[in-house]
Amino acid sequence: MREAFVLALDLGTTGVKAAALGRSGALLASAYRAYPTASQGPRVEQDPRDWENASLEALREVSSSTGGRPEALALTGQMQDLILVCEGGGDLVGGASLGPAILYSDTRARAEAEEIALAYGRDRLLLEARNPHDASGLAPKLLWMSRNASLLYSSAGHLLLGAHDHLAYRLCGRAATDPTTASTTGLLDYDSGTWNLGLLKALGLRTDFLPEIVGSDEIVGRLQARAAALTGLPIGLPVIHGCGDAGSTTLGSGAGEEGRLSINLGTSGWLALTRDSGALDSSKGIYNLRHPDGRRLIVIGAPATAAGNLDWFRDLACPAMDRAAAFELLNAEASRARPASLLYLPYLAGERSPFTDGDARAAFIGLGRESGRGELARAVMEGVAFSLRSVRDALWDGAREGEARGGTVVGGGARSALWCRILASALGCELKVPTSPGDAGVRGAAFLAGRALGWHSGWELPQSYLPVDASYPPDQEWARAYEGLYGPYRGLQASLGPAWKALAAGRPGSTS
């Protein structure tokens, strides 16, 4: 007899993954559907109807593959979005969304962000939210919306904050968010865990359309008739709201308890860990996210560009090659290069953690006639490793405790054994790569569904949920070389600041 299973949906920035996972954590089936992003200058938007259609298609494919009856459907997805919906938009009736979703990476509200910081107080914002305040937050975007799209703003029935919030509303009719997603927005009073109504009132913004905050492992509703018919799933199937993608990926990487690192080596990527207490200094670009348990926190630092650095170099160095073949070639050439022979600063699009400088840009330092493509490729990998180490040091607040417990690497960059060895050596701890490193988000969501169903207690991912494909201990020779280069790497930020500012003045669109 087939084991009981749940379905999980992860609505990412570029597409949605649906998966069926057994009670043991076995991946039974999966499907992926992409959706477009509209980007023009600082504006970055997606159509929530694309989220819906892609999710329904992916669920249909997985449902037909599994054949049996799932126990629940769990959701996760991108956070810190601004989504306005009408009343009565559940069960996929009509078009619930009022215009496109404004994504977390949209920075059109820069002027509003600065206005809020001056009027409300930058230090007060940091103290209450425990997170950075900038144009990616919801308060600036809402202020921009109230001035530039006042009809949509005033007529909205609900404000939703993440792609999975929107899908839960459409499937179940309940306007809700989770503690992890809420804490990314700048609208949450971090210490109380409730909405910061004082901030909204001080800015003259609405407080009547905020979503309910529900538990990440809570049944937010049950699948309604139309959604069931469109997916082939049973009416009344329990839907678990889940948490935002940073939380589910942390859980799905086995870092839901204190001490283990979770490294997402994706295009932007992040390094995260669970702390039992003590929010960190968010002025360093560190986010203090509420843990899915609603009590503890996940501290996370997200460099502006992580694996995207190697994507850039691959396209530059191997423009005529198939992307996968070029990636394999660069890995092979980099593996023959001497460690720490060059220094690369991985700031292709500025930096946001553990320092914030939108003018910062990438650089190779130490180039010589002996520097070939392999040396440059390896330097790119090492530069990203140094960047993640500097984030780790900020998360540990300068302490060395806990390093020996190691961590897990997920995301596209985890496919490179060389890069994982470099990371382990730069961080000084053993790193593990799961069998399917791209499934951490759906695994974390499925784990939350299991908690709701009584399958799991505590927040330690069962070992069967995270089969390990490879383990990478530090290479001691490499570690010594990286230790000698890491200090100079950290010192370059201050010395290059004036050059970055001067270069920024000459870029197209500069107002300097």
Pick the CATH number of 5-243 from 2.40.160.40, 3.55.40.20, 3.40.50.720, 3.30.420.40: 3.30.420.40
Q: Do domains 5-243 and 254-433+475-495 have the same CATH topology?
A: yes
Residues 423-439 have pLDDT tens digits of 999 999 999 999 988 89
Position 401 scores a pLDDT of: 46
CB distance 340 to 482 below 8 Å: yes
CB distance 226 to 175 below 8 Å: no
Instruction: Say if residue 473 is preceded by a cis peptide, omega within 30 of 0.
Output: no
Average pLDDT, the chain: 92
Domain boundaries, the chain: 5-243, 254-433+475-495
Residues in the chain: 512
Position 304 scores a pLDDT of: 84
Q: How far is CA 447 from the centre of its chain?
A: 18
Position 406 scores a pLDDT of: 86
Count CB neighbours of 350 within 10 A.
17
Position 344 scores a pLDDT of: 98
Residues of the chain with pLDDT under 70: 1, 94, 397-405, 509-512
3-state helix, strand, coil in the chain (%, to 5): 40, 20, 40
Burial of residue 3, with CB atoms counted within 10 A of its CB: 0-12 exposed, 13-18 middle, 19 or more buried = exposed
Three-class SS state of 205: coil
Considering only CA atoms, which of 459, 410, 17, 121 is closest in space to residue 257?
459
Residue 398's φ and ψ, nearest 5 degrees, are 85, -10
d(CA 48, CA 369): 52
Terminal alpha carbon distance of the chain: 68
Two tokens at 264? 């997402």
Measuring CA to CA, how many Å separate 280 from each of 131, 199, 228, 256? 9, 22, 44, 18
Looking at domain 254-433+475-495, does it have CATH number 3.30.420.40? yes
Position 403 scores a pLDDT of: 47
CB distance 425 to 479 below 8 Å: yes
Residues 4-31 have pLDDT tens digits of 999 999 999 889 999 999 999 999 999 9
Position 359 scores a pLDDT of: 87
